[in-house]
Amino acid sequence: MNANTFSIEERYIFDLSLTNDQVRYKLLYTFGKQGKLLNIQNLIKLYLMLIRISQILLLFFIKIMTMIPWRKSEERD
């Protein structure tokens, strides 16, 4: 698997502004071309994309949580 090719594909597929249908279409188009079943290389690409998406969501969650001011227990009551 060529790392440069994968990074280009990942940039093309991963876009926060896409709708669910667009993402579904791009995944099916990328990984199911010409009626082929998912082979191991495509599964690895899909797995790596899912890991990358998870990392981005985790970083986003951490960023949001650090922006929320934490109150001490005495202030809650």
Q: What is the pLDDT tens value at each position of the chain, 77 positions in all?
A: 444 344 444 444 455 566 666 666 666 666 555 555 667 787 888 899 999 999 999 999 888 888 877 666 665 55
CA-to-CA distance for 20 and 23, rounded, in angstroms? 5
Q: Is 27 exposed, middle or buried (0-12, 13-18, 19+ CB in 10 A)?
A: middle
For the chain, give every domain's residue range. Answer: 3-70
Q: Which amino acid is at 69?
A: P
Please name which of 18, 2, 4, 5 lies closest in space to residue 53, comparing C-alpha atoms.
18
What average pLDDT is seen over the chain? 68
